[in-house]
Structure 1
Amino acid sequence: MKRLTSAQLISSVGDGAYYVSSALYFTLVVGLSPAQVGLGLTAGWAVGSVAGIALGHVADRRGPKGTAVLLALGTAASVTAFLFVGSVVTFVIAACVYACFQCGLGAARQALLAGLIDPAERTTFRARLQALSNAGIAIGAALGGIALALGTREAFLTVFVLDALAFVAAALVLRKVPSVAPVPAREDEPSVAVLRDRPYALLALLNMVMLLYMPLFSLVLPLWISTRTAAPSWLVSAMLVLNTASVVVFQVRVARGVTGLRSASRYARYAGLLLCFSCLVFSFSAMGESAWAAALVLLLGAALQVVGEMAQAAGSWEIGFGLAPEGKQGQYQGLFGAGAAIARMLGPVLLTGLILVGGAAGWVVLGGLFLVAGTLTGPVVRWAERSSQRHDPKDGGAVAQSEQIDGEAVVGDGAVHPERRREVETVG
């Protein structure tokens, strides 16, 4: 599916340019205060996390391909709207619209992927998308860095135009992707069945907790390094390069170890341990006055963090896809993907208060959260498999995604996937 990967790469370039330069554009060019920018982005991602579920449901019912194309164009339009922001009110409105389109687009693209890619290959394919996404973001960040270096209004506006054009180009590429047939709703089921699927909702919550690592490199670690350690401030750039390059090179290899829900649960447990250890290592970076020692400790923590990040991603993709019923992938991916939006919304406030105020104790608490979330994922996955909702479509829940027939794993329509024969997934 080269067109799916191409669309992901193109839109990621635009995202990278936007992420790097948007905050300074809104403060230096538009004239908003940092608090106002934070308020607008928080409101935007809060609304977007809810809209993603509804728009994912639209993708299920109307077809994910057409929905993804329209949402990509809508994202381009919302980015363009930022060029005309002149007050707090218009910024909040634009941020909400932008987040809605972004969250909805993510759910629609995931539903499209689920409809086009064999279930046994979804996690590996998603890993390829993630690697390309990181590469695209790195390219976009470099372009955004040019705007930061120039610091002019024209340079920032060019970045926003580039971002909008990237999403238009991605929409044009998505138009050439094969279609996935929409699934009409049954009269005896609720319109949004995922809201009644309690184990899946709990897994989405645990996934959100694990995704709290997202604000570390963009906000927490730069502030931690500059205020609490003797390490040079430029070290955060080296850590970000390490993170991005590792995901580009190793994410697909890591994901190959996930072949079913059992291995996905194991990877989630490993991710919780690794992320916990990385937090403990980061806490030691404030001890001592040697810049080199602090730098080495921080790089070690960053290495542990990125391995945990890749393990968490691989496990969560398999869980998110594997426990979602066919025909409802859009709304289920909308709920599961809401974790990223909520982590973006709550993470900066939560982690800056926890770590910059709490110091080493804050790192320990964060590590504990990662450890608990990773450990609980396995039991909740087993609960989801046992759930009666997965055996009775009339409940409005998910239909059982895996059965055991003659000792082999069978998915959906009864076709046996050779890749899963070594790891039999049982229900009940």
Structure 2
Amino acid sequence: NDDPAIRGREIHAEAYQFFQLITPGFCGSCHDVFAPNGFRLEDAFSEFKHSPAAKKCKENCQDCHMGAVPGEAMGYTYSPAAVVGNVKTPVRKHTNHMMIGPDYPIIHRGLFPHNPAAVREEDTPPSPDTGLATMREWLCFDDAAGWGTPEFEKHVTDTDYFPPPWDDQIMRMKARQILNDQYELLGEAATQRLQILRAGYHLGEIEVEKAKWYDLKFSVPVSNITLGHGVPTGFDAERVVFLRTMVWDQNGRLVFQSGDLDPNGDIRDSHSLYVHNGEIPLDRQLFTLQSRFITRNVRGGEREQVLNVPYSLDPLPYFRPATRPFTVLGRPIGARKQKQNIEAKGSRLANYHVSRRQLTGPGNYTIRVQLIAGMVPVNLVHEISDVGFDYGMSARDIADGVVDGHMVLYEKVETVCIP
């Protein structure tokens, strides 16, 4: 109302639509990434612009990533935008802002997901209007030990030590209630992450090509079933998507494996520190969709790199000025990215061979193939560990969290009889 004597609410008289929000260009502002020297780090938006989803279906990024079904253009849900004075606003299109993707949190659950009831600012006195504890205090809360749960609290004695403010049992129980809500939300996010990843990948049936007492050969197709872009996409040089393949003989003995992890949590590729140091063998039959950064050596040849930042004798890495414009090739002269992802509606065949030396004679052999997706490789954690990590976490803590988040998208099992 316009009468200052009558109490009311300040509201906008009308709404202006920001049209850019509903176009793919809004997403492309962050999902096509160039380094200062012109090196193309991410090209998810470029992949989309040349995809069937954009050219034929006339879809946009939001249809799959903010719609009713994660990963599929199945329309949107409809609901009120808000509740004002216990009255719901008119029903309208509702977009999903969880923005689920291949990433997942690895920090203390009291800090993420963001929860106003959980965290308050440093030096802010406790009150009902602020969060339960500061970030520093949350990092002292031992979630893994079960603080605040009925099972834990009934065994607490007067001699047990808890750092403040967790020396108060009521505070511990309030924290546990918050963590229960956090885990429920993280479970919802994990369900949607599996859903969106399964909407992009497909693992076909195991095809046995040869099964003899001296030789076993089989293959399995991996497909990109989305129309929108390659899989993986975005920062695909740091996206871990691989097949874990294992073969057991008739006695249950493991005779072959590929896609297993080294003690650090890396697959056994050329970036594994254990492989690099000669402590474990290279996985020569590894099927991985992780792209590679390739740099040119000073005198001939190329090599893979974990990061696209060149090494230097100077302690500070920097991008050397190019000797010619990068627009000639679309990239700097001394570096490129070898893309190994699968294009939209594309497919790739993983081939495996179990040699006579590995086979243990006639009988039934069991083959299991899993398609696994992770966030980043552990070798990236090692590469950047010199600068340290926030939240009091060590490189080992980060690596363990990354590996714990690995998700099995598909699994196929086949039994083969070798005469």
State the TM-score, normalizing by the size of structure 1. 0.27
Which one scores higher on RCO, CA 8 angstroms, separation ≥ 6? 1
**So what's the TM-score if we normalise by structure 2?**
0.28
Q: Tell which structure's C-alpha radius of gyration is larger.
A: 2
Return the structure number with greater strand share. 2
Q: Which has the higher helix share?
A: 1
